[in-house]
Structure 1
Amino acid sequence: MTAQNILNLRHQNIFRATVNHYISTAEPVGSKTLVKEYDFHVSSATIRNVMGKLEKAGFLYQPHVSAGRIPSDSGYRFYVDELVTPNVKTRKQVHQALTQNSDEQLWGLEATLQKANQILSTLSGYIALITVPQQNYARLRHLQLLPLSASKVMVIVVTDMFQPQSVAFELEYDPDELTLLANFLNHHLQGRSLEEISRLDLDALDQDFRHCAELLDTICQTVAKVNQNNLSTPILVHGISEVLRQPEFSQLEQLQTLLHLIEVRQEQLFPVMFNREGEEGTTLIHIGTENPLEPMKTCALVSANYYQEEVPVGSVGVIGPTRMFYENAIALVEATADYISASLTTQPELA
């Protein structure tokens, strides 16, 4: 029996009420509760019959023989796909909270992400996750060339998205020329992405520096290695204390495995959150057993990409129990992702 042949309008309304009540109370839902608290104008027996059909379809189940019913992962999936509309009021609420008394141009990107993560966690009541933008789209703010020995140089790269990174490499150089080269590169490379720098056309160099083309190519390729050596993308985490209030995480062992994943095994979590091929406006929702990672099999993850110049560079998400306020969570995640995308496009131009 499928959703198409059992869920008429009455069934959908009763199912929606069952899910909403369970989300609000964390208590199994019985037919008498629905009759008492929802205006269905039908008997308890009718509602009980509908709930029985929903159970046979796999959308509800009884955790105990004498208990009411709660949604299954399949039930939540149908609920999310067919019955949920992101809360417009919640979108406005998070937008107002994010933009109140803010000036991202003074803060910088890291502070913007930290603020967004804190607000997302507070408003959702779940663990908020924001991936730091992927390194290959970071733009160069400044580079410095430091002589380490007669044949070794360190290049220090500062981008608009990360802490300074450095790479040492072998190089035959003239000390007097090193400073001039650094100034030249800062002038020509500032504001370019590390991806772009790795593909720089050195034939377009100024006449005065063409004799240094090979040297400059070595430096540019070394700068690009900063990108290659930092492919792991950090995930900012906020709100672990929030999720402790949820009864689903009362078991310490279950909570520890989830926190270990979030804090230590982020390289496994990142590809679950970030949809490299996703079109703008696409929201990913993993519910319970749909999650590919074992510590998340009892959780729900809602995530959406944020963009820089229409390119997906990072992701925003919340992790909570499958008993999640999906209407609010989806709206909060989408609004936060939109806010970060807008912040990336309004970052001040690099001089």
Structure 2
Amino acid sequence: MTVAHPEAGVFGRSHELSARAHEQVVFCEDHRSGLKAIIAIHSTALGPALGGTRFYPYADESAALQDVLRLSWGMTYKAAAAGVDLGGGKAVIIGDPATMKSEELLAAYACFVDTLGGRYITAGDVGTTTDDLDIIGRHTRYVTGRSVAAGGSGDSARLTALGVFQAMRAGAESVWGTPTLAGRTVGVEGVGKVGRELTALLLADGAEVCVTDVNEAALRRIAAEHPEVRLLSTVSTAPVDVYAPCALGATLTASTAATIEAKLVCGAANNQLATPEVEQALTERGITWVPDFVANSGGLIQVAGELRAAPPAEVEAEVTDIFPRCREIIAAAKADGIATGAAANRFAERRLDAIPRSL
């Protein structure tokens, strides 16, 4: 994958991301509520495109477009690697959710989702909550991740974190020979919903955890829940064994790749690599990266289970299977002398290539 030029149009950006171009990109605007949103459907080859709605104060429309194209591309590969019968899509709402979010805006957004007739199914993401999804669900049936009271499976943070933890165990086995984080120091960057759950799992496994977050309230909450956790200004270059990016993407840059002390990188954030060359830099320094779209697929597996009304125990078992999946990908990378990202892409593409490409 290459990073699209910021001035490229939709077609150019899509082709620069991958030879598998986006099927459809929809720009949505509702003057009454102030809604400005972009819905990107990357692929419906394996099923309807599913992906969360990110509500974020992007610097401009260009940044929002770049993000939604990258995220939707990643969802195609995430779904393919996870073995679920879903395609890849994503949506972004441009604006600050703290000041712009309203029931009217969410209802207007839901109506746009509904016009796609099921080609895109939305879910939660940064800036959207289960309560928001309940509101969206009053105006379209093409939504997952609603509260249990509203007929959904609830917040996906716990199972997303469980999947990352299982991926981290597979990485630990590859790096240190044993599938546990006991005795290791893990730096968690971002202790929102998923990072908070991951921290609890790591502590229960016997890891020492240090955390950072730009949100002071999140830091206060984690410190109150787990006084043994150390609060740091940064963890990406701290003396840790594992770096777990769990906030926004692109934190793995050429600069951090050159200074990172961790031997294993595994987290919940999407699109962790600022550029594809970063993974090569990590590999040359002997640092193992567990590809994000495999590690963080627990939430997708949960909502896929919700769509087919699967029992919770069955869904949790499927999330736990992220461990052997990551083990297989890491082993294939070592055996073939390729990066783990390339091995993960190949793993996903085996499913995608088996399906005739048609709309």
TM bucket, shorter chain: under 0.3
Higher CA-based Rg = 1
| TM-score of the superposed pair, with normalisation by structure 1 | 0.24
More helix, by proportion: 1
Name the structure, 1 or 2, with higher relative contact order (CA <8 Å, separation 6+): 1
